[in-house]
Structure 1
Amino acid sequence: MENKPKFRPNPSLKLMDQVREVLRYHHYAYRTETTYCQWILRYIRFHGGKTHPKLLGAPDVERFLSHLATNGKVAAATQRQALNAIVFLYRDVLDLPLEGKIAPARSKRQVRPPTVLTQEEVKRLFMVMDATHALMAKLLYGAGLRLMECIRLRIQDVDLGQGKIFVRGGKGGKDRVTILPGMVREELKTHIDRVILLHHADLEEGYGEVHLPDALARKYPRAAKETRWQYVFPAKKRSIDPRSGREMRHHIMESGLQKAVKLAADRAGIMKKVGCHTLRHSFATHMLENGVNIRVLQELMGHADVKTTEIYTHVMQRDIDALRSPLDHLFA
């Protein structure tokens, strides 16, 4: 079987335009495109901003990554993300794979147990939230969704009849099925009905398109205006798609939900560090406390390895409640 010819960017384009061209050819997400471009620019600027990367090599990459760890104090995941971007630049854009092993000073990876709310704290949190942000937060907790999985939900991904949510292209590009809490079904149905009316209004004004993955957009050119492909949580206003240049209705910005959850935690008097991912952690822990099999939970969470799911066994309330402090034994 013959190997498929490697894609070559247009040599007449500037370097960063070549980077974007290759990223889009390989169907990278727009967020990944933005992140990779930022890291490549930082790498170039670190070396003076005038030296072309093709004149640099593995030792120069090591210096940059070591600088991030020692001077920038970045997390291990951030340093790894920067490395991935630079490796992509050399391998896929410049066709100059980095020779030799890159061994920069490593950022220390700190393994911390996840922050988990008690069921009472979750109740208090939801009591001080309202409207769409409250519904989204309930889905994060009730279905174990990641922030962007909730933000990117399409109408066709919600099965109100069977009580399921289909997560498409989650972390690692994987699909999975999780539960739709019965408590929010009617509220979610009412919300989706409003979204459909908004979509029909867009269509009447000559718009109504939504962003689709490139392969789908090419195969089904009319799908972008179909109701089932619309986001469950659309933005209030239409905007210009940065790739196609067409006016579309994108999904809601994730920062709004992040701010709403943090504000609600303050209002509820919760002293823990609470974010959107805390609700997903709490979902997993409470499911285990309620007796759900860890393998079933692994599927609901979308974890590739059950060891990732096992971290929640360390913060289960029933395990901790059974213990007595030696101080209590001392004065018993």
Structure 2
Amino acid sequence: MSYPTKYTRQYDYVSYQNANPARPLPADKVHADFNQVALSTNEIVDFLKTSLRSDGAVMNGSIGFDQLSTSVKAMTGDPTSVETLLSAASASAESAAASAGAAGTSATNAATSETNAATSASSATTSASSAATSAANAATTLANALVRGNNLSDLANVSTGLNNLGGVSFLTVQAASSGQKAQARSNIGVGTDAAATKSDQQAGTSTTAAVTPSQQQQHDCSAKAWALFHWSGSALVIDASYNVASISRSSAGIYNVTFTTPFASTAFCCQVTTEIAGNTPEGVMAIVAQGSRSAGSVQVRFLNQAMSAPVDPSAAHLVCYGRQ
């Protein structure tokens, strides 16, 4: 399997937004970028599945003794592969057989040569001892090979197998420090500023951060609240709105607007306009009541043509800008 495809942003949203501050992001470009993110994410998941199990542990059989570094192999006391260890065991067994044969030859020589009998017997004893030692060494070497091989097979306790190989589980990786995680992202080419944050939007200077739907409205040029409403004669009707929790009518032409998410301070701006029916004197002047702004609400008023008394407009439009 080849390495996963690194994500590359397809479109310069910041330049587009700067050139078109009142227009939404182009849906086809956003869709294309999300498709690229999905492609990279899916390939990363598929790539991880080749070496990790669903419980976060290393996939059985994905790590062999030959994959370990020379320094790790040396820690086991024998920097050779399992195949080499088995070969050494076989060679030791053959040496033991050869030593046993030499012992037999020495015994025969002892029988045919009385003068050399004692020497031959001694040689036979030495050869037999060597054979025993060689056989013991072969057994130890084979046992070591089997233990190491067992580290890579299905175990009743997977954590023990991981520890024997010096490995770590997925949960251990999740507990890594922020610095370690940042280094890991850097190693695979994943940046830390892929999506714009609230502060990025308010600063408005990044040329690499992608604007997501959840942060788009945080830019200073974006409306934080708006509403279309009217007085039906007996009840107040909110025809459409954004970030408006409620609107109440104190009396004719006087309305109190409460925001769902308040502003950060009273330093925000509201634009109020009206609709009028024909040549009626209603809604000629729409104003924000002085001193009425709080972080969570504002009062708007509508005056008749002579600006002598408040009056209810056919419909009212409200848009507010500022930081939340």
TM-score, with length taken from structure 2: 0.19
Larger strand share, 1 or 2: 2
TM-score, with length taken from structure 1: 0.19
Taking CA–CA contacts closer than 8 Å with sequence separation of 6 or more, which of the two structures ends up with the larger relative contact order?
1
Larger helix share, 1 or 2: 1
Q: Max radius of gyration: which structure?
A: 2
